[in-house]
């Protein structure tokens, strides 16, 4: 019976899990680490910048225990300052997808992914609810650029504080454990957040078919796609779970472009601290500019390849339509209704299993 119940529990959790929208996967016991992979791989130049030499390292050993594998992943020895900064970068690049919760916390994942606020969707390079056609891609791109500016501005402001006050606390959760606070170097944490948004813009848009993939031709929609009122002609093309992957051989070019953009982001932040006020503008103009005149009618400027990729494995409603609330904002009642249905199914299956077991061994005495 235990094996049958375990199987049902796994099926139930899989069924209740929200469509994963918040782009490149983050590392847990169940997934790879697309965001971490590209951030760690491109961190060396930033870790060697003189900015890092003045970082005050947080006390305690909790963060050190969590960061133990980072030197091996980056492929080099790290000073205490470099290790603390890299740890903070990784926590920051994870934060928009997890909110400090465990990746296995399905309820929290659904709440984060389905946050209807426009600024939350822009944090992932997606359309907000009001970013409708025909100008939805442009307004969403403006929101995404503003999100990156806020993260970088917060990082710069934190860097101006006395070094002892540049450490803050961020929420963190190990899979299947409670959430707790970990110290982070705030400039790197917010830089990681900005990197997440920029990286997500590659998984959540259709980019030009040019070899550099720098120009955006269309921005995808998640927040409307998970609801019952989604209309593509108005809301835009639905978010693609396929584009969220970073291991498919067909997406190698896209992932490489996201890596180059991340390297440019780190460089722009350092240049800004060295007095180059145009560095962020150049970054955003290079990677987050909309190519005009690209529509569905012309395959987004004859870009059939990436249009086809964006239409693969589209996001839909969280649960079957008969279980969804009809309102535009689906509340927590939806998930409880779905959970009740699953528990009922589990209960009936277990009862049936017990009945069969008793009939096979005879009546109890």
- 319 confidence band (pLDDT: 50, 70, 90): low
Q: How far apart are alpha carbons 85 and 57 in whole angstroms?
A: 9
All structural domains of the chain with their residue ranges: 19-317
Q: What percent of the chain has pLDDT over 90?
A: 62
pLDDT in tens, 46-71: 999 999 999 999 999 999 999 999 99
The confidence score (pLDDT) of residue 257 equals 95
- 27 confidence band (pLDDT: 50, 70, 90): low
Angle made by CA atoms 72, 76, 79, in degrees to the nearest 5:
105
pLDDT in tens, 131-179: 999 999 999 999 999 999 999 999 999 999 999 999 999 998 776 667 8
Q: How far apart are alpha carbons 188 and 152 in whole angstroms?
A: 10
**Interacting residues of 259 by C-beta distance below 8 A, sequence separation 6+:** 38, 41, 42
If one compares 125 and 322, the residue with the highest pLDDT of the two is 125
- Give the predicted TM-score (pTM) of the model: 0.79
Which residues sit opposite 216 in a β-bridge?
A: 207, 290
Contact 144, 288 (CB under 8 A): yes
Given a cut of 90, is residue 19 above it in pLDDT? no
Q: Pairing state of beta strands 216-219 and 167-173? A: unpaired
Average pLDDT, the chain: 81
pLDDT in tens, 96-144: 986 533 444 444 445 455 688 999 999 999 999 999 999 999 999 999 9
Contact 161, 58 (CB under 8 A): no
pLDDT in tens, 263-275: 999 999 999 999 9
Q: How far apart are alpha carbons 39 and 93 in whole angstroms?
A: 8
The confidence score (pLDDT) of residue 298 equals 92
Give Dmax (Cα) for the chain: 86
Least confident of 24-33, 46-55, 138-147, 191-200: 24-33
Kindly report the backbone phi and psi dihedral angles of residue 274, in degrees, each rounded to the nearest multiple of 5, phi listed first: -95, 10
């Amino acid at each position: 019976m235990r094996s049958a119940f375990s199987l049902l529990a796994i099926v139930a959790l899989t069924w209740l899990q929200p469509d994963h929208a918040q782009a490149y996967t983050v590392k847990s016991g169940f997934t790879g680490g697309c965001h971490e992979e590209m951030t760690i791989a491109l961190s060396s130049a930033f870790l060697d910048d003189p900015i890092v030499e003045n970082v005050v390292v947080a006390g305690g050993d909790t963060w050190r225990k969590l960061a133990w594998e980072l030197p091996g992943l980056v492929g080099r020895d790290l000073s205490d300052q470099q290790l603390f900064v890299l740890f903070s970068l990784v926590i920051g690049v994870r934060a928009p997808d997890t909110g400090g919760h465990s990746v296995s916390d399905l309820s929290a994942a659904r709440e984060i992914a389905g946050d209807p606020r426009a600024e939350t969707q822009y944090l992932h390079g997606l359309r907000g609810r009001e970013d409708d056609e025909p100008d939805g891609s442009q307004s969403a791109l403006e929101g995404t650029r503003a999100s990156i500016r806020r993260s970088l501005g917060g990082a710069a402001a934190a860097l101006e504080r006395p070094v002892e006050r540049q450490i803050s606390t961020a929420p963190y959760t190990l899979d299947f454990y409670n959430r707790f606070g970990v110290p982070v170097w705030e400039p790197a944490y917010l830089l990681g957040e900005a990197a997440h948004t920029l990286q997500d813009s590659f998984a959540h848009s259709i980019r030009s078919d040019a070899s550099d993939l720098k120009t955006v031709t269309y921005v995808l929609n998640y927040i409307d796609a998970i609801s019952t009122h989604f209309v593509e002609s108005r809301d835009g093309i639905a978010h693609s779970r396929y584009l969220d992957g970073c291991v498919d051989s067909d997406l190698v070019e896209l992932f490489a472009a996201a890596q180059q953009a991340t390297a440019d982001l780190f460089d722009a932040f350092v240049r800004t601290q060295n007095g180059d006020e145009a560095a962020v503008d150049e970054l955003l103009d290079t990677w987050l500019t909309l190519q005009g005149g690209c529509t569905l009618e012309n395959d987004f400027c004859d870009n059939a390849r990436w249009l086809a990729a964006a239409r693969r494995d589209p996001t839909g409603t969280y649960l079957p339509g008969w279980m969804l609330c009809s309102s535009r904002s689906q509340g927590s009642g939806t998930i409880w209704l779905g959970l009740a249905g699953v528990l009922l199914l589990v209960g009936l299956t277990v009862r049936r299993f017990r009945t069969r077991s008793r009939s096979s061994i005879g009546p109890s005495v």
